[in-house]
Amino acid sequence: MTNVQVHEAVIGWLSGLTGATFIKDRQGIARPAMPYGIVEVASWKDLTERPSDDQWDELETLNSAGLKDLKATPLIAIEWTFAVLIYGSEAQNLFRLIQAGIRLSQKQEPLLPYLVVHDLGPVGSVPELVDEVWEPRSHAALTVRGWNTDGFVIDSIQEYDFDYTREG
């Protein structure tokens, strides 16, 4: 999955799990009704030192020899960390729902088979002064793991024939 696809999947999962609205960071829209959450891709990293296998897909496009193109995708485990901020008086309770949902495999099914929630970090309270009123807000890091889908169309040798004659 691409980073954009993972980001959107996590937002959808959080919304479905909690019943609250979650949006992307810096989306430039009016604030939703509280409680609501903002999800930002904080970081991502490769967990695989050396991919042990590749996925090979035969495409419908043809190469210069008139054969179907081959796409090679190294199977790389990736970990994405999201900064999740929830606004409103129910922020702490919504994080408790997320915490419980991580522990039930049935609640992770909307992310499967491509993603699995790995961890929810410590939940912190970070109230914010908005229009001279303190607004409740909480945040935590959410870690999700999945597989790379970035591959390349490669040239492959479909068939090779040679003659070998041993002398002497």
What pLDDT score was predicted for residue 80?
Answer: 97
Q: Which DSSP state fits 49? A: S
What pLDDT score was predicted for residue 157?
Answer: 63
What pLDDT score was predicted for residue 93?
Answer: 96
H or E element that contains 69: strand 68-74
What pLDDT score was predicted for residue 147?
Answer: 87
What pLDDT score was predicted for residue 16?
Answer: 96
Q: Whole-model pTM?
A: 0.81
Cα–Cα dist 32/68, whole Å = 48
What pLDDT score was predicted for residue 158?
Answer: 60
- Please identify every stretch of the chain with a pLDDT value under 70, giving residue numbers as ranges: 156-160, 162, 168
What pLDDT score was predicted for residue 11?
Answer: 97
30: tokens are 């009016």
Domains for the chain: give ranges and CATH numbers. 3-154 (3.30.2000)
What pLDDT score was predicted for residue 168?
Answer: 64
What pLDDT score was predicted for residue 107?
Answer: 94
Q: Which amino acid is at 10?
A: V
Those residues with Cβ within 8 angstroms of residue 152's Cβ, 6 or more apart along the chain or in another chain: 71, 72, 73
